[in-house]
């Protein structure tokens, strides 16, 4: 008898806890989210921390986000959407362009090229890589050849090697944006190497002329950048390098869109230009001190 009562009581108790557990039940789910640094972690976790999410942890080593959430209050769909708006593609949602572009350099992950809708032979929306879409940033040593050239760029322009020169130019710029003198010097080495690898013989006459016209300037300013770790000197030389690269890029257009940015303040008001694949301003002449100074004056595409 006693036993029976005890059983009943415990059953009732289990029933109650079960009910309680249902109301506040937590679920755990894990998603693969790209990224590589502490900054990404902050962004991913804060985007995932919607109301009803108890914990959100992203592990840089495994690139996995683990969320502990209350299904009654929030859906995995809403969490993944929020993470995508913060710039991170995931299994369910792909980030909008601007969200991706606003990511810190180290958070830029390799994105699959976005294929616009429609058949490739359809001129209204043929398969192109969306302009402005940033290719993944190199963080390795410069001696490692960039292996993720834009696919189309690789196909069309590989024969003359100019796309590697552009790639290196953007890498120098990115280092200057980060106030990374040694990095910029190393990338300038890579630039010179790429410059030497350009096959002028396969170029059309117009392209060749434009390239030859700028070659000396590009070479000398890149040499200056590679020979010093002084950011001041590098930036002065970078201004000249940009002037050299610009006419070449205008003639031999990359398949992606390029923005010509202008910083009116540099050189005591003389101003300076630079080229960028991103629309948002990330000023290489001032780096962290005045990151967003400047504006886009032209688009090459």
Based on the shown chain and the rule CB under 8 A, indicate whether residue 264 belongs to the binding site for another protein.
Answer: no
Element (H, E) at 136: none
Closest Cα partner for 71 from 20, 26, 19, 21?
A: 26
Would you call 255 exposed, middle or buried from its count of C-beta atoms within 10 A (0-12, 13-18, 19+)? middle
State the number of binding residues for another protein (CB under 8 A).
29
Nearby residues of 276 by Cβ (< 8 Å), 6 or more positions away:
170, 173, 258, 259, 261, 282
Q: Cβ of residue 152: shortest distance to another protein, in angstroms?
A: 18
- Closest distance to another protein from the beta carbon of 295 (Å): 5
Q: What is the three-class DSSP state of 103?
A: coil
Q: Considering beta carbons, is residue 63 or 279 the nearer one to another protein? A: 279
295 binds another protein (CB under 8 A): yes
Identify the helix (H) or strand (E) that includes residue 56. Answer: strand 53-59
97 binds another protein (CB under 8 A): yes
Determine which residue in the list 71, 118, 182, 197 makes contact with another protein, applying CB under 8 A: 118
Answer yes or no whether residue 114 interacts with another protein by CB under 8 A: yes
Does 290 sit near another protein (CB under 8 A)? no
**Residue 298 interacts with another protein (CB under 8 A): yes or no:** yes
Select from 98, 196, 212, 216 the one that contacts another protein (CB under 8 A). 98
DSSP state string for 208-264: HHHHHHHHHHHHHHHHHHHT---HHHHHHHHHHHHHHHHHHHHHS--SS-EEEEEES
Among 67, 95, 184, 248, binds another protein (CB under 8 A): 95
Contacts of 247 (CB under 8 A, 6+ apart): 210, 213, 214
Per-residue contact flags (x/-) with another protein for residues 36 to 75, judged by CB under 8 A:
----------------------------------------
Q: Which residues bind another protein (CB under 8 A)?
A: 81, 84-85, 89, 91-99, 114-119, 122, 124-125, 259, 279, 295-299
């Amino acid at each position: 008898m006693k036993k029976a009562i005890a059983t009943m009581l415990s059953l009732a108790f289990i029933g109650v806890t079960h009910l309680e557990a249902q109301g506040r039940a937590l679920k755990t789910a894990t998603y693969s989210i790209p990224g590589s640094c502490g900054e990404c972690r902050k962004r991913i976790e804060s985007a995932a921390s919607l109301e009803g999410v108890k914990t959100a942890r992203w592990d840089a080593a495994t690139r996995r986000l683990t969320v502990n959430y209350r299904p009654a209050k929030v859906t995995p769909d809403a969490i993944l959407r929020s993470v995508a708006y913060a710039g991170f593609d995931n299994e369910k949602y792909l980030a909008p362009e601007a969200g991706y572009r606003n990511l810190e350099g180290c958070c830029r992950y390799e994105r699959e090229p976005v294929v616009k809708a429609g058949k490739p032979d359809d001129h209204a929306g043929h398969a192109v890589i969306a302009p402005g879409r940033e290719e993944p940033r190199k963080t390795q040593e410069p001696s490692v050849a960039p292996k993720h050239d834009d696919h189309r760029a690789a196909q069309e322009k590989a024969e003359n090697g100019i796309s590697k020169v552009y790639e290196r130019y953007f890498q120098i710029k990115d280092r200057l944006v980060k106030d990374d003198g040694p990095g910029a010097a190393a990338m300038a080495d890579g630039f010179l190497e790429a410059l030497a690898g350009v096959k002028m013989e396969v170029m059309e006459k117009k392209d060749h002329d434009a390239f030859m016209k700028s070659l000396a300037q590009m070479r000398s300013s890149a040499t200056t950048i590679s020979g010093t770790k002084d950011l001041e000197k590098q930036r002065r030389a970078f201004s000249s390098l940009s002037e050299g690269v610009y006419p070449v890029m205008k003639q031999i257009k990359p398949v992606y869109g390029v923005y010509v940015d202008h910083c009116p303040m540099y050189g005591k008001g003389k101003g300076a230009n630079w080229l960028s694949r991103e629309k948002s301003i990330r000023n290489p002449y001032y780096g962290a001190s005045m990151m967003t100074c400047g504006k886009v004056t032209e688009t090459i595409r």
